Amino acid sequence: MSTTIRLTAAQALVRYLAAQTTEIDGNEVPLFAGIWAIFGHGNVAGMGEALAGARAALPTFRAHNEQAMAHAAIAFAKQTRRRRMMACTTSIGPGATNMVTAAALAHVNRLPVLLIPGDVYASRRPDPVLQQIEDFTDATVSANDCFRPVSRFFDRITRPEQLLASLPRALDVLTDPAECGPVTLAFCQDVQAESYDYPLAFFSPRLRKPRRPRADAGEIEAALKTLRAARKPMIVAGGGVLYSEAEGALARFALHHAIPVGETQAGKSALASDHPMAMGAIGVTGTSAANAVAREADLVLAVGTRLQDFTTGSRTIFENPSCRIIGLNIQPFDAGKHGAMPLVGDALATLEELGAALDDWRAPEGWREKARAKREAWDAEAAAVLASTNAALPSDAAVIGAVRRQGHAGDIVVCAAGGLPGELHKLWEAGAPGGYHVEYGFSCMGYEIAGGLGVKMAEPDREVIVMVGDGSYLMMNSEIATSVMLGLKLTIVLLDNGGYGCIDRLQRSTGSPSFNNLLATAQHQALPPIDFAAHARSLGAEAVKLAGIGDLETALQAARQHAKTSVIVIDTDPAEGSGVGGHWWDVAVAETSENKDVTAKRRAYDDARKAQKLV
Domain spanning 387-571: CATH superfamily = Thiamin diphosphate (ThDP)-binding fold, Pyr/PP domains (3.40.50.970)
Write a three-state SS string for 132-190: CCCCCCCCCCCHHHHHHHHCCEEEEECCHHHHHHHHHHHHHHHHCCCCCCEEEEEEEHH
> pLDDT tens digits for 345-356?
999 999 999 999
Opening angle at CA 85, ends 79 and 89, nearest 5: 125
Instruction: Return the domain boundaries, the chain.
Output: 4-207, 217-378, 387-571
Architecture of the CATH domain 4-207:
3-Layer(aba) Sandwich (3.40)
Beta strands 195-199 and 4-8, pairing class = antiparallel
Q: Mean pLDDT score of the chain, rounded to an integer?
A: 96
Helix H or strand E encompassing 416: strand 412-416
pLDDT digit string, tens, across residues 260-311: 999 999 999 999 999 999 999 999 999 999 999 999 999 999 999 999 999 9
Which has the closest alpha carbon to 207: 390, 23, 389? 23
CA distance 450 to 481: 10
- Pairing type for strands 491-496 and 195-199 reads unpaired
Determine the Cα–Cα distance for residues 603 and 598; give it in Å rounded to an integer. 9
CA distance 558 to 36: 31
- The pLDDT value recorded for residue 548 is 87
Q: Taking residues 566-593, what's their average pLDDT?
A: 95
pLDDT of 615 above 80: no
What secondary structure letter does DSSP report for 518? B
Looking at residue 614, its pLDDT comes to 85
Cα separations (Å) of 399 from 268, 332, 352, 467, 552? 20, 40, 39, 10, 8
Which amino acid type is present at position 352? Answer: E
Q: What are 351-373's pLDDT values in tens digits?
A: 999 999 999 999 999 999 999 99
One-letter amino acid identity for 569?
V
What span, in angstroms and rounded, lies between the C-alpha atoms of 360 and 353?
13
For residue 133, is pLDDT > 80? yes
Whether the pLDDT of residue 486 is over 90: the answer is: yes
Q: Which DSSP string do the residues of 334-360 spell out, in sequence order?
A: HHTGGG-EEEES-HHHHHHHHHHHHTT
Evaluate whether 4-207 and 217-378 have a shared fold: yes
State pTM to two decimals: 0.97
Could you say which architecture CATH assigns to the domain 217-378?
A: 3-Layer(aba) Sandwich (3.40)
Residue 492 bridge partners (DSSP) = 466, 567
pLDDT at 316: 97
Residue 234 has pLDDT above 90, yes or no: yes
Mean pLDDT over residues 116-121, rounded?
Answer: 98
Q: Among 363, 331, 336, which Cα is nearest to 347's?
A: 331
Has residue 470 got a pLDDT over 90? Answer: yes
| pLDDT confidence band for 431 (50 / 70 / 90) | confident
pLDDT tens digits along 13-37: 999 999 999 999 999 999 999 999 9
584 close to 608: Cβ distance less than 8 angstroms: yes
Question: What pLDDT sits at residue 533?
Answer: 98
Give the per-residue pLDDT at 547. 87
Whether the pLDDT of residue 432 is over 90: the answer is: no
Q: What is the pLDDT of residue 117?
A: 98
